[in-house]
Chain A
Amino acid sequence: MRGWAEGLGDLTASQLVLRGLVLLGPVVAVLATGPAGSWAPWWVLLPILALAVGFAALPESSVGIATYLAVLAWWTLALEDGLDPMVLVAVVALVVSHVAAVLASYGPGEMPVHGPLVRRWAVRGALVLLVVPPTWLLGRGLRDDTAQHGIWVTGVAVALAATLAAAVALAGSDREAQP
C-alpha cells in the first residue's frame, strides 16, 4: 500500500490526470447501462473497478485488454436492446480511456506529458469517434431485420471495409503531413 502511495506521489500532475481518465473510462462504460435499464450489480462493478485501477497503474500492460473485454461482456449480457443511445457514452468513455493510456505510456510516470502530443491525440480521438454515429445509426436501421442472419454478416463486412478505407485515408494523410 505504501509503495502504491509513493508511486502515486512520483506521478506528475498531467500523468495523474491521464491515469484518472484511464481509470474512469471502463467504469463509466459499465455504468452507462444503468440509464438504459440495467444497473451493474456490485459484483460486476467491483472486479471491473479493480481491473481499471490496475490498468491505470500499468497502462502499458495487458490489464487493459482484460478490462475492455469485461466491459464488452457486461454490455452483451446486460441489455436486450444494446443500441440504446447510452452505448455512445460507453464508446466515448472507452476511447478516451484508450487514448489516455496511450499518452501515459509514452514515458515513465514521472515524465510530464508533452503538450503537442496531447493535442495531436485529441484530434485523433475525435476523428476515430466520427465512425461511431454512422455505425450506431446503421445498427438502428437494421435492428428490425435481425431475423435475417445474413444481413448482419453483410453489415459487418461493409463496416469493416469502410473502416479499412478510412484507416488508409487517415494513414495517407499522416504520411503526407510528415516532412
Chain B
Amino acid sequence: MNQAPLDARWRPTAALARSMVTAALAVAGALLLSDPSLVVIGAPFVLLTGIGLLHRPERTPTVGSALDHQVLHEGQGTTSRLAVTDADDAEVLTRVVQEAPYVVARPRDGRVAALLGDEPVPDIEIGPRRWGRRLLGEERVALFTPWAGYRFGPVTAGGQLVRVLPGPAPYDSRAEVPQPLGLVGAHRSRRRGSGTELDGIRPFQPGDRLRRVNWRVSLRTGDLHVVTARAEEDTGVLLVVDALADHGASGGIDGEASSLDVAVRAASAVAEHHVRSGDRVALRVIGRGREHVGYGTGARHLRRVQHTLAAIRPGELDGRAEQGGGLLQLGVTGGTVVLVFSPMLAESVGTAAATLTRRGVAVLVVDTLPPDVRPAVPEDTDPALAALAWRMRSLERSLVLDRLATLGCPVVPWRGPGTIDRVLRSLARRAALPRVAGR
C-alpha cells in the first residue's frame, strides 16, 4: 500500500482566513467608525471563525491506497481502496484520481467526496482501456475538519505501474498448421503414428497391437487387418510483431484500433490459441526494445508472451539491429510457421518475409494497417504534400504486398476468429507437396 508523504499536515483553509479577516475588520471598523452596520455584517463571520477555530485538529492522519489486482487485461477493472487512520478530527474526505491516458474511473470519473462517520470511505473502480504499462490508482486525497476550518493535504497516494495485458480476443482456428514436426500435440502429422485420426487399413504385421485389429475387415477378407492412424504432433509458431511505428489513432479497447493495437491483440490471441493446442510458441518484436521470447508452451509461457507484448513500445531499431547486411535476424528454424503482424510499411520487414518464404519457410503476413489511417505529420507540413507522400508510400506498400503474394507468402488483414484459417490450410497443402527450396 502506498502511503502519503510524512510532511503532510493540517493547514487553515481559505474559508477560515476569509471569515476571520472579514470578522476582524468588520468589528474593528464598527468600533473605529461607529458604524453598527459593520457589526451586523461581521456577526455571522465571527461565528464561522469561532467554530472553525474550535475544531482545530490534533492528530495527523495517515492515508494510503492499494489496488485489488496487480495484473489486468485491457477492459478489465480493479478497485482502488483507501485506508485512512487517525482521521477522527476530519469530517469530509475527498478523493480525486489523477487522469491517465486510456484509464477510466468510476464513479464520477474518480472524483468523490464523503462525510466521514456518516458514510464509508468510498472505493473507486479503475479500468485500463488499452494494453501497455499504465500507472493506475494515483490519486490526491484531502481531509477537512468540521466547518472547513482546516485541510489536510491534498496528498498524493497510491499509484501502481501495472502491466495491462492485451484483451482476451475471441480467436479460434480449425486449420492445420503447415509443418508439424514436434513430438506431441494436437495437429495431424504427415507421418503414421498412434494418434486418433484414421489413416487407413492394412494387413497385420508382426509388432502391431491387437487393439488395432479391425475384426470386420479381417473376417470379410480372411486375413488379419489393422487400422492405422496419423501421428499427432505439435509445431513451432514464431510470432513476429512489427513495432517500428504505431499507425492510426488508438481509442482503447472500445474505440478504433491503431496498427500496433491490432498487432498486439492478434498476436496475443494467436499465441493463446496455439499454446492451448500444445504448440511451441515464440515471440520476436521488431522495434526499439527488440523483445524476444523463446519457444515454449504452457500457461506460464503464454503469460510471459502476453507480458512481453504488453511492454512493447513503438520505435525504430538502433544501429546494432542493422548488422548483417540490413537483414532482420529472426532466428527461424526448420519446420517453424512464421506469422508476421505488420502494417508492412517498413522495407526491412517485407525483405525478411520474402527471404524466409524463398527459403521454404511457411510465412503468413497479417496486415495490421487500419483501413482509413492518415499519417501523423508536423503542424507546419503542407497537407497537400503530406497527402501526396502518403499516396506514394501506399503505392510502394501495395507493390511489396503483391511481390510477397507472388512469392507465395499470403497477406491477410486481421478479422478476428478464422482470419488465417484459409491461408493456413493452403500453406499446409503446399507443404505436403514435394518442392525444391532455395537456400
Interface residues of A (CB under 8 A from B): 59-62, 64-65, 68-69, 71-72, 75-76, 79, 82-84, 87-88, 90-91, 94-95, 98, 101-102, 105-108, 110-112, 114, 116-117, 120, 124, 128-129, 131-132, 135-136, 139, 142-143, 146, 149, 152-153, 155-156, 159-160, 163-164, 166-168, 170-171, 174, 178-179
Contact = CB atoms under 8 A, between A and B. Distances in A.
B144 interface: yes
Contacts of B112: 111, 114
A71 B34 CA distance: 17
Interface residues of B, number: 53
Interface in B54-91: 54-55, 91
A139 B51 contact: no
A102 B19 CA distance: 11
B94 interface: yes
Per CB-CB distance, the 8 closest pairs between chain A and chain B, nearest first, are: A82-B37, A167-B50, A139-B36, A111-B111, A171-B54, A114-B113, A128-B44, A135-B43
Interface string B16-54: 011101100111011101111111111111111011001
Contacts, number: 178
B7 interface: no
B114 A114 contact: yes
Given A156-B39, A160-B27, A69 B21 contact: yes
A111 B108 contact: yes
Given A69-B21, A105-B14, A132-B40, 6 more contacts: A62-B18, A65-B17, A72-B42, A75-B38, A110-B111, A167-B54
B43 A131 contact: yes
A179 B115 CA distance: 12
B14 A139 contact: no
B41 A87 contact: yes
Contact of A102 (B31, B36, B148): B148
A154 to B, nearest CB: 11
Contact of B40 (A61, A91, A120): A91
Contacts of B14: 59-62, 64, 101, 105
B225 to A, nearest CB: 80
Interface of B: 13-15, 17-19, 21-22, 25-27, 29-31, 33-48, 50-51, 54-55, 91-92, 94, 96, 108-109, 111-115, 117-119, 142, 144, 146-148
B27 A156 contact: yes
Nearest to B118: A116
Given A112-B111, A160-B27, A171-B54, A79 B37 contact: yes
A152 B38 CA distance: 12
Contact of A114 (B33, B40, B115): B115
Identify the interface centre among B31, B33, B51, B118: most chain A CB within 10 Å of its CB: B51
A106 B54 contact: no
Contacts of A170: 47, 51
B41 A108 contact: no
Contacts of B119: 116
B20 to A, nearest CB: 9
Contacts of A108: 96, 111
B147 A124 contact: yes
A153 B39 CA distance: 11
B19 to A, nearest CB: 7
B115 A107 contact: no
A147 to B, nearest CB: 9
Contacts of A91: 40-41, 43-44
B94 A111 contact: yes
Contact of B38 (A82, A117, A149, A153): A82
B34 A146 contact: yes
- Determine which residue in B43, B45, B92, B117 has the highest number of CB atoms from chain A within 10 A of its CB, and name it: B43
A110 B92 CA distance: 18
A152 to B, nearest CB: 6
Contacts of B40: 82-83, 87-88, 91, 132, 135-136, 139
A143 B41 CA distance: 16
Nearest to B33: A76
Contacts of B108: 111-112
A171 B36 contact: no
Contacts of B21: 65, 68-69
Contact of B46 (A72, A117, A143, A160): A160
Given A72-B22, A156-B27, A82 B35 contact: yes
B19 A98 contact: yes
A141 B27 CA distance: 18
B113 A139 contact: no
B111 A82 contact: no
A7 to B, nearest CB: 15
B26 A72 contact: yes
Contacts of A156: 27, 30-31, 39
A91 B40 CA distance: 8
Contacts of A146: 34, 36
A107 B96 contact: yes
Among A117, A149, A168, A179, chain B packs the most CB atoms within 10 A around the CB of: A117
A111 B38 contact: no
B111 A131 contact: no
Q: Which of B34, B50, B92 neighbours the largest number of chain A CB atoms within 10 Å of its CB?
A: B50
Nearest to B50: A167
A164 to B, nearest CB: 6
A71 B41 CA distance: 10
B41 to A, nearest CB: 5
A84 B246 CA distance: 71
A91 B48 CA distance: 13
